[in-house]
Structure 1
């Protein structure tokens, strides 16, 4: 039996002002987002400029990856499939 697919994206070049909620709101435009998390530096609490988005279905994941340009708060985002 095959394991359930995880539809996970790596999102880079995030503005330091973007948190989990903003990331989830932006990617919800493409489909249902299970989780969206921004990685923060443990010592400073400042965003490290990247995060991960997990979609519940393949369609949302494909909609996001098929778009050529993603922009959030003035930054052009870098997205790519994330390893599980």
Structure 2
């Protein structure tokens, strides 16, 4: 499991990769920030992932969970590997 990577949910539609990176840069060096886009519409699906240089930064970033960004309370968790997320 990648302890450097967080899942960010309930993102406002206005957030893109750059603004997601800026939002979490206060917690440490961000090596990657990706907003997941719908393949057909190219619009945000309202969630993304941020990868930090260190697990400590990712842990600190969990403080953002519940904080309001552009009118929406975002959800922040340590990212789970794809196979762990499946519930069926």
Equivalent-residue separation in structure 1 for 2:40 and 2:63 (angstroms): 36
Tell me which residue corresponds to 2:73: 76
Structure with bigger helix share is 2
Q: TM-score, normalised by structure 2?
A: 0.81
Q: Which runs of 5+ in 1 are unaligned?
A: none
Deviation at 1:65, TM superposition (A): 1.5
Name stretches of at least 5 consecutive residues in structure 2 with no aligned partner. 82-88
Alignment of 1:21 with 2:18, yes or no, is yes
Q: Which is strand-richer, 1 or 2?
A: 1
Number of equivalences: 81
Residue 32 (structure 2) pairs with residue 35 (structure 1): yes
1:44-77: CA deviations, max 9, x gaps? 1110000000010122112111455322212110
TM-score by length of 1: 0.85
Pick aligned residue for 2:47 from 42, 45, 50: 50
Moved over 4 A (4+): none
